[in-house]
Amino acid sequence: MSFRRRKFLHLVAVALTLPFVWRRVWAQAYPARPVRIIVGFPAGVAPDIVARVIGQALSERLGQQFVIENRPGAGSNIGTEIVVRAPPDGYTILLAVSSGAINATLYSNLGFNFVRDIAPVAMIGLGPFVMVVNPKLPTKSVPEFIAYAKANPGKINFASQGTGLASHLMGELFKMMAGVNLVHVPYSGNFTADLLSGQMQVAFVPITNVIEYIRDGRLRPLAVTTAKRAELLPNVPALSEFLSGYDATGWNGIGAPKGTSSAIIEKLNIEINAIVLDPTMKARFIGLGVEPLSMTPAEFGKRIAEDTEKWAKVIKFANIKAE
């Protein structure tokens, strides 16, 4: 081979590797300025608090501010669309929550595809819910509840925080899998007072919202909605112990605009996994009602896709329309 040909091939090889090398070097320097974490909910609610905890930890680890920017509205769709339209440079990321998987089917006119347009970065943790009943209801277990509901079709009211929200869909999934007829009563907010009074008989709620009422006996837990028992209520069975395959949990994670460098995604994934696996941070998250869980970007993407498919079936089965 001639010297000129060898030199030409060498230059071609260098040219082909330069983009990869540049991306890797650029990612190593990331972040070089503050990063926005877009939260599609108001300040002070659970997802916002999770975002602030993870943002503070990332700021400390990476030496740049991770600033929380609340953009509430349309069930978190407004915040998601801001990230979808942002430059894929790692400086605008999303607190991705399980409502994104629900909204993909619930809303027919979205200007984005949650699975396709948001690159999964890292899971933060699961938000376990619990199925609770008013103690006046003569059922102390899931099998007893199912038998009672089948003997009294349309006579049990189940409350939710609103049509199409997680507390609604978890109940609809239960109805679908158990074959029972419960009357859905959507609230525009807190229904706890009516649940405590007995006006509502059953609800599917975040554990932290009702754990004190469970402890003092004012509400009876029948099962948690996670695939296995939850750390916050270790003595309460999982619904999957009675309804095989039932698994319905809220989750929080981080997403980025499609096209974000894989090197940046990998760097954020490593840092977030280190945060959620740290014993002190784990205890802090559990206190917030979040069970920390580390995943690779591919694993998190698989979870998002699976939940999107699952909730699509429930929404279509129950003929749920966004309000």
Per-residue pLDDT tens digits for 92-101: 999 999 999 9
- What average pLDDT does the chain have? 92
User: What are the two backbone dihedrals, phi and then psi, of residue 237, each rounded to the nearest 5 degrees?
Assistant: -65, 165
Q: How many helices (H) and strands (E) does the chain have?
A: 12, 11
% residues pLDDT > 70 (the chain): 91
User: What are the two backbone dihedrals, phi and then psi, of residue 202, each rounded to the nearest 5 degrees?
Assistant: -150, 155
Options 3.40.50.970, 3.40.50.2300, 3.40.190.150, 3.40.50.620; which CATH number does 33-127+250-318 get? 3.40.190.150
Q: Tell me the one-letter amino acid at 11.
A: L
| Closest to 251 measured CA to CA, from 213, 299, 314, 219 | 299
Per-residue pLDDT tens digits for 98-112: 999 999 999 988 999
Per-residue pLDDT tens digits for 222-258: 999 998 999 889 999 999 999 999 999 999 999 999 9
pLDDT of 7: 62
Model pTM?
A: 0.86
Residues of the chain with CATH 3.40.190.10: 129-241
Other Cβ atoms closer than 10 A to 298: 10
Per-residue pLDDT tens digits for 36-75: 999 999 999 889 999 999 999 999 999 999 999 999 998 8
- What is the architecture of the domain spanning 129-241? 3-Layer(aba) Sandwich (3.40)
pLDDT of 27: 56
Two structure tokens written together for 198: 């007995």
Two structure tokens written together for 258: 């499609």
Two structure tokens written together for 307: 């939940």
Beta bridge partners of 14: none
Q: Tell me the one-letter amino acid at 309.
A: E
Residues of the chain with CATH 3.40.190.150: 33-127+250-318
DSSP string, 193-226: HHHHHTSS-EEEEEHHHHHHHHHTTSSEEEEESS
For 141, half-sphere exposure in the C-beta direction (CA atoms, 13 angstrom radius) is 8
Confidence of residue 22 (pLDDT cuts 50, 70, 90): very low
Two structure tokens written together for 312: 């699509």
Statement: residue 287 has pLDDT above 80: yes
Statement: residue 114 has pLDDT above 90: yes
Taking the C-alpha atoms of residue 52 and residue 62, their distance in angstroms, rounded to an integer, is 15
Antiparallel, parallel or unpaired: β 66-70 and 118-127: unpaired
Other Cβ atoms closer than 10 A to 153: 11
Contact status, residue 285 vs residue 45, Cβ threshold 8 Å: no
Statement: residue 188 has pLDDT above 90: no
